[in-house]
């Protein structure tokens, strides 16, 4: 393959970092969404579960948008081949994310059990499907997909559903589920915390088993392509160790267990990126048809301008997001919402029943001046 320049390698690393940030942050969002009805048994508890990620979930999705935009700008050929070949799979993910976002907003709009139950299941499904399909997608990117001599994807959606890819989907699904349970154990209190800890203790070992099986298969596939890559293998071993640590600590130390699942996600996907480099897309049809990173790249001028912009703006974005997490760091529980059933109840709880301004005006004598 052609040599990769410094700027091309830099932007490959930066895109990797964007995906890592997305999977760590949105990973626990997916897990919380999937656990909505398992952890929350009443409307008040489910409101607390939703509010545990309410201030941050949409900000976490910005990492995905930025990763897609950076790929389009830095490696347009990679973007074109990836998005055309994975069109239906990415459409399913997009539809699930839309349904999930609507469910967050619509769940509390009506105090009706049937209404809320429908949106709860929409939130669960909208979280579970991307958690599964992201693993399927990245397993295919690393393992290879049918790409012809013209660089076009020649397969179908079903070609993406190989046993290896499905195992990758189960790995991300199970890891995100445990990751979300640990996050809930850190962000909630009372019965919610107890249930979340119990789920985390049961799910973390399952995530470790499935994740380690996927990592082992990934290393075996490296050998089939001409030799095991030392860096990718070392990262995979680190990810497996982090999953084992999370499973051991899930019941005793939730904070360290959450750090371990975060580390496992980072190491797992970094291992996949290291396995992929220096290719952008791997062809399962013929290795000669694989798309090298150097050939998929934009010009050096474009990459230089992008680097300057990133240097100036990324620290601001990171600081703002860190500040958001700091502000909303307190634990919450069902008792924090009292008898709140809808957004109108929140206003009444804040200002009193009816309009506080109207009540004040009615109490004033006619012609009395305002404050």
Q: Which of 48, 38, 25, 196 shows the shortest CA–CA distance to 121? A: 38
Q: In which element (H, E) is residue 291 found?
A: strand 291-292
Q: Which of 172, 87, 167 shows the shortest CA–CA distance to 134? A: 172
pLDDT of res. 214 = 97
Instruction: Count the residues in the chain.
Output: 371
- Prior bond of 289 cis (ω within 30°): no
The answer to whether 37 and 189 are in contact (CB under 8 A) is no
> Using the 8-state DSSP alphabet, how is residue 145 labeled?
B
Q: In which element (H, E) is residue 280 found?
A: strand 279-281
Encode pLDDT of 278-318 as tens digits. 888 888 888 888 889 989 999 999 999 999 999 998 899 88
- Those residues of the chain that have pLDDT short of 70 are 1-2, 223-228, 338-371
The answer to whether 170 and 203 are in contact (CB under 8 A) is no
Distant-in-sequence, close-in-space partners of 70: CB < 8 Å, separation ≥ 6 = 11, 14, 15, 18, 306
The answer to whether 236 and 271 are in contact (CB under 8 A) is yes
Q: What is the CA radius of gyration of the chain?
A: 24
pLDDT of res. 29 = 94
The pTM score is 0.88
- Looking up tokens 């579960």, which residue turns up? 49
Encode pLDDT of 327-347 as tens digits. 888 898 888 776 555 554 554
């Amino acid at each position: 393959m052609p040599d990769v320049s410094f700027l091309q390698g830099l932007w490959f690393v930066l895109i990797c970092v964007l995906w890592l940030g997305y999977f760590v942050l949105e990973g626990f969002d997916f897990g919380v969404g999937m656990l909505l009805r398992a952890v929350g048994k009443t409307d008040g508890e489910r409101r607390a579960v939703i509010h545990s990620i309410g201030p941050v979930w949409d900000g976490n999705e910005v990492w995905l948008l930025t990763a897609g935009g950076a790929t389009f700008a830095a490696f347009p050929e990679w973007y074109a081949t990836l998005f055309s070949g994975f069109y239906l799979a990415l459409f399913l993910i997009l539809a699930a994310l839309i349904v999930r976002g609507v469910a967050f907003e619509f769940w509390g709009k009506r105090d009706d059990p049937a209404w809320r139950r429908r949106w709860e299941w929409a939130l669960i499904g909208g979280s579970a499907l991307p958690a599964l399909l992201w693993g399927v997608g990245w397993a295919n990117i690393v393992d290879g997909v049918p790409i012809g001599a013209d660089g076009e994807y020649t397969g179908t959606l079903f070609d993406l559903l190989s046993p290896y890819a499905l195992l990758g989907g189960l790995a991300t699904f199970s890891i995100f589920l445990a990751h979300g349970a640990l996050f809930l154990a850190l962000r909630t209190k009372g019965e919610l915390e107890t249930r979340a800890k119990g789920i985390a203790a049961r799910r973390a070992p399952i995530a470790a088993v499935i994740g380690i099986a996927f990592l082992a298969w990934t290393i075996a596939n490296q050998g089939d392509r001409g030799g095991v890559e030392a860096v990718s293998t070392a990262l995979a071993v680190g990810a497996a160790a982090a999953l084992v640590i999370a499973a051991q600590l899930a019941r005793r130390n939730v904070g360290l267990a959450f750090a371990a699942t975060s580390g496992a996600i980072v190491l797992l996907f970094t291992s996949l990126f290291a396995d992929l480099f220096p290719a952008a897309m791997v062809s399962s049809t013929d290795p000669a048809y694989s798309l090298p990173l150097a050939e998929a790249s934009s010009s050096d001028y474009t990459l230089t301008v992008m680097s300057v912009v990133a240097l100036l703006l990324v620290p601001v974005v990171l600081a703002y997001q860190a500040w958001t997490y700091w502000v909303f760091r307190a634990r919450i529980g069902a008792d924090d919402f009292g008898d709140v059933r809808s957004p109108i109840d929140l206003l009444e709880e804040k200002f009193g029943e009816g309009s506080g301004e109207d009540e004040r005006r009615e109490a004033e004598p006619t012609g009395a001046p305002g404050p």
